[in-house]
């Protein structure tokens, strides 16, 4: 069994696959926790508790892999896994065998989560492919027809913009992130929802359309992340929502770097 962790700025997504092979393996465990500061002991005990709650012992795990965009949390969880589960987790970077070339000006600057999304998208949906991660930030990543990671776009995420809006404007109410009945909001709440949901849908659609134009060929477009369902329902470019894209990418990277043993 394989433990996978996606450590983000807002949440940490944890999964256990029954098999690390690229063809699949059931996601036997999935949980999401806040990306608060923890000690390595707290992280290790949390993982132990999560495994036990699903009837699994730490010894059932054959390996572990993580991607992180928060260096201080990466060290904490890596140490927790070592101390409590007895595993040395693989840490995603462009130096691993990703099954694709990273053709960027500075390859080492590409976020590990972006690499995991690109690998998962190319493996599951073919090439070329555009992966849209709608989380704390919006990451759009592109794999070319020949299987090369060629970059993408980054924009502030919905939650980030909403928090900025509410913290900077005292009279605006906090609202649920959902599509209003029409673009022309007839009240303040609907007007805010319109600006956020339809505005961000337009942002993503415009970027994806321009990306496909630069590619010169049609491409699969897959969305993941906490706000994927909301925007995909309104989008003209997003055709697929895959909640496990990052975790699947981690599983595939682990397999590639461990001779198929996972």
Query: Which residues are tagged catalytic?
Result: 113
* Backbone CA torsion sign across 116, 16, 262, 44: positive
Nearest in space to 115 (alpha carbons), one of 254, 260, 259, 262:
254
Report yes or no: 134 and 237 within 8 Å, Cβ to Cβ. Answer: no
Instruction: With H, G, I as helix, E, B as strand and everything else as coil, classify residue 32.
Output: strand
Strand partners, 29: 16
Strand partners, 149: 102, 143
What 209-217 contacts at long range (C-beta under 8 Å, 24+ apart), as own/partner pairs, is 209/237, 211/130, 211/140, 211/142, 211/152, 211/153, 212/130, 212/237, 215/128, 215/142, 215/144, 215/145, 217/128, 217/145
Q: Which two tokens stand for residue 112?
A: 């590990």
């Amino acid at each position: 069994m394989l433990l996978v962790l996606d450590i983000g700025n807002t949440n940490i997504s944890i999964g256990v696959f029954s098999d690390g092979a690229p063809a699949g393996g059931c996601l036997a465990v999935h949980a999401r926790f806040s990306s608060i500061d923890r000690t390595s002991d707290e992280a290790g005990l949390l993982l132990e508790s999560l495994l036990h709650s699903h009837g699994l012992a730490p010894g059932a795990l054959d390996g572990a892999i993580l991607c992180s965009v928060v260096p201080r949390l990466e060290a904490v969880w890596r140490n927790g896994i070592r101390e409590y589960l007895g595993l040395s987790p693989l840490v995603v970077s462009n130096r691993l065998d990703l099954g694709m070339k990273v053709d960027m000006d500075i390859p080492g600057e590409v976020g590990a989560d972006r690499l995991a999304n690109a690998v998962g998208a190319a493996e599951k949906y073919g090439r070329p492919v555009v992966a849209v991660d709608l989380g704390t930030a919006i990451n759009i990543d592109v794999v070319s027809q020949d299987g090369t990671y060629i970059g993408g776009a980054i924009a502030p995420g919905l939650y980030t913009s909403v928090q900025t809006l509410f913290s900077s404007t005292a009279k605006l109410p906090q609202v649920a992130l959902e599509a209003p009945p029409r673009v022309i909001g007839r009240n303040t709440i609907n007007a805010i929802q319109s600006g956020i949901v339809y505005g961000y849908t337009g942002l993503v659609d415009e970027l994806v359309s321009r990306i496909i134009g630069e590619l010169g060929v049609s491409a699969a477009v897959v969305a993941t992340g906490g706000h994927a369902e909301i925007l995909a329902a309104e989008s003209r470019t997003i055709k697929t929502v895959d909640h496990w894209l990052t975790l699947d990418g981690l599983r595939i990277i682990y397999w590639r770097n461990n001779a198929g043993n996972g």
